[in-house]
Structure 1
Amino acid sequence: MKFSARAALALIAAPALLLTACGGEETTATGSDSGSTTPATKGQPDVNGDGKVVIGVMSPGDTRDNGYYQSFVDDANKIAQANQWEVRTLDKLNPADAVNQARNLCRQRVDLIAIAASELKDALTAAPEPQCKGVNWYVNGGGGVEQTEYFTQSKDTVNQSLYAAGYAAGQLLKQLGATKAGYITGPELDFAKQAAKAFKAGMQAVVPKGELVTTFTGDFDDSAKAKEAFEAQRAQGIKVVYPYLGGATDAVTQQANAAGIPALTPGTDRCADTTTKYAVSVIFSPGAYFAAALEDYGKGTLKMGSAREWVIGVDPVPNVKFCQPQGDQQSEIDQVMKDIGSKKLDVDAAVDGTE
């Protein structure tokens, strides 16, 4: 099973860019759901013709989290302000209430509804209903939501981003003359285990005898548990740490900063942060993908019924960058990402240990 880096991070950040991207591989729905309305494909961005453009954002997480979900609304707000559009944000939504909240936005005559994570995919069942006639829909689909004619989505895969992240961690270990890294995450869920597997494979591509100490704290946002896990890993001799967490990410990184242990980000670009310092930014936040969709939307070219898959090494995001690269570190990871994107490196086979 292929997991999405962003779908994974969406689950991480739910309780708790940087680039205006372009590109991506686009696919179109081969079938469509029957419904009482026809999906809008014309008249973007003011699809209802009322003389204004209103974008409704639905998020299961906190859009002031200084990370994943905030990137989604921050980029939307930047583009909206530049185009004199209005953004109405509903955050911390319960997935069980997604359909009702979507209907409410439709009744407010929004032009586009943007869903920040596939957890809220049930909101899409409102798309064919009369009150949502003509509304365009965008979904941060992660690993993918079953495509219909009513929405467009962005997708990516966890193996690409996390293998590259692990490779960067391996480069840090090599620089330090070390062999042990730490991976701290929340509940022992399938995507978190897959992310760890991909991270380890990337790390061992650089340091073949590298060891990954993995800790599942049971909670993506519990800072106390995360810091306890870090201290335990530190006692075991880790020299690099990846806090694959939500609200507890910075708590771990601040501990790592104090200990002189490099840390990597789980999704956003934090290289400019002078308070909580990261050695590497592993970028797969939804804001960059949404920004690209909004650019197309403003041009009237955002096609409903299609999916865009973002490929590392081909598109601007996902991406991995060293905040202060030493020697050939950045050029080396750039080449790895290009090889993944061109399929010269079969990343799935590498992660599965068959390469």
Structure 2
Amino acid sequence: MATRFNRRQFLATGSATVAVSVLLKACASPSSNNTATTTSPNTAGSPASQGFKAAIVLPGVITDKAWNQAGYAGLNEVKKQGAEIAYVEKIGQAEQAEALSDFARRGFNLVYAHGGQFDAAIQQVAGQFPNTFFVGVNGAATGPNIASLRIDHLQASYLCGIIAATMSKSKKIAYLAGQEFQATQEELRGLQLGAKSVDPTIQVSSTFTGDWNDAAKAKEAAAALISSGSDVIYQWLDNAAPTVLQTASDQGIYAFGNTADQFEVAPKAVLTSAVKRIDLAIAKLADLAQKNELKGQIYSFGLEEPTILHLGKFNPAVPADLQAKVKKTEDAILAKKITFETCTEGGKATRCVKGAA
């Protein structure tokens, strides 16, 4: 069975040994407690993977059916490569640096920090542990032993923006996320660009709850957006996502799933989902690390990697001609007939769309 640690115990133990166990998923149901867990490697790993240890620090729980669960799934993909793996859940901002440091002290070769909100903590600790490579998922930090892994959120949200603007009756749509940092800013920008390509006058508002998992805050924010007239909500939340999708369904408006295909969560409301197979992207970088080919740079995956980034199941309410328009636009992005280039707008650096389908 898996050896499990209370979060406070994990953060306080420093270089204490973590017991190796069989795969958690096969042996025990996840606890809601904050824990650190290791699992033994598969025996079929490549020679390069022997003795390789990878860990992930998660801001939420591995059962959220969204961001954190996708990160945990990625860690298990790394296990299939023959690595020993470990994770810790529900790490808040004040605990980030110590959680990352503790895995490094335990001799882990690769440590993922699962969210752009970890960038400052990564930069704080990486120089102290040159033998550990830190990867910020959705981050922007780089360094000798720091890489960032990104999905091109703007590409997917651009396509969703086209759908949102076409399906909206009020001509008011909204973006709702947990925190504001580069990845969410880019996703919001894509939604704006896609929507305005359909209707330049459409209003796109945004709200950040400050918490990816607080369902009460998310429900309150969604209700406020609906009260202000938004009839389509593009959300990016973790454990709080189902609450927003269900609120949209109850109020008779539309919404978008995110990270996982969340159509079944609220089939009356979800138009489609921006499916981000971050688990496969995590595994790709682990493979590079085991080959000593991982570099201190930003690795970005977009629609050109359809197994990693794609749209999910369409709601029957989305007309066939609109689905065809979205597919034509996606093809134009892949053919580079539509590009998203760095520009300045309102005195700030952003990305602008060039070209047409």
The TM tier, using the shorter chain, reads 0.5 to 0.7
8 Å contact kept, 2:56–2:87: yes
Query: Is residue 62 of structure 2 the alignment partner of residue 71 of structure 1?
Result: no
Q: SS of the residue aligned with 2:190?
A: helix
Q: Report 1:160-309 matches (<5 A).
A: 160-173=155-168, 179-185=171-177, 195-215=187-207, 220-273=212-265, 278-284=270-276, 286-296=278-288, 300=291, 302-309=293-300
Q: Report 1:76-225 matches (<5 A).
A: 76-80=75-79, 82-83=80-81, 85-95=83-93, 97-121=95-119, 122-123=121-122, 134-135=131-132, 137-148=133-144, 150-173=145-168, 179-185=171-177, 195-215=187-207, 220-225=212-217
Given candidates 325, 329, 333, the residue that maps to 2:326 is 333
Return the alpha-carbon distance in structure 1 between the equivalents of residues 164 and 179 of structure 2. Answer: 22
**Cα-to-partner distance string for 1:165-186 (whole Å, 9 max, x where unaligned):** 312323434xxx6633333345
Return the alpha-carbon distance in structure 2 between the equivalents of residues 103 and 163 of structure 1. Answer: 37
The residue type equivalent to 2:63 in the other structure is R
Return the alpha-carbon distance in structure 1 between the equivalents of residues 181 and 78 of structure 2. Answer: 35
8 Å contact kept, 1:311–1:341: no
- Deviation of residue 189 (structure 1)? 6.9
Q: SS of the residue aligned with 2:255?
A: coil
The residue type equivalent to 1:117 in the other structure is G
Q: Which runs of 5+ in 1 are unaligned?
A: 1-41, 47-51
**Cα-to-partner distance string for 1:79-130 (whole Å, 9 max, x where unaligned):** 41x345432112333455545434432343334322323433434665565x
Residue in 1 aligned with 2:49? 45
Change (3 A) 1:244 1:107: closer
The residue type equivalent to 2:136 in the other structure is N
- Deviation of residue 250 (structure 1)? 1.6
Given candidates 310, 320, 333, the residue that maps to 2:301 is 310
RMSD: 3.8
The residue type equivalent to 2:113 in the other structure is I
Q: TM-score, normalised by structure 2?
A: 0.67
Structure of higher RCO (CA pairs closer than 8 Å, 6+ residues apart): 1
Return the alpha-carbon distance in structure 1 between the equivalents of residues 353 and 72 of structure 2. Answer: 40
**Cα-to-partner distance string for 1:316-339 (whole Å, 9 max, x where unaligned):** 433333434641444432332343
Q: SS of the residue aligned with 2:303?
A: coil
Residue in 1 aligned with 2:39? none
Q: SS of the residue aligned with 2:54?
A: strand
Return the alpha-carbon distance in structure 1 between the equivalents of residues 98 and 223 of structure 2. Answer: 44
The residue type equivalent to 1:340 in the other structure is I
- Deviation of residue 70 (structure 1)? 1.7
Q: TM-score, normalised by structure 1?
A: 0.67
Residue in 1 aligned with 2:5? none
The residue type equivalent to 1:168 in the other structure is I
How many residues were matched structurally?
A: 300
Percent sequence identity over aligned pairs: 19
**Cα-to-partner distance string for 1:123-177 (whole Å, 9 max, x where unaligned):** 4665565xx5654x251343521232x344323455334323312323434xxx6
- Deviation of residue 341 (structure 1)? 4.4
- Deviation of residue 263 (structure 1)? 1.2
The residue type equivalent to 1:339 in the other structure is A
Q: SS of the residue aligned with 2:85?
A: strand
Q: SS of the residue aligned with 2:136?
A: strand
Q: SS of the residue aligned with 2:320?
A: coil
Residue in 2 aligned with 1:4? none
8 Å contact kept, 1:186–1:218: yes
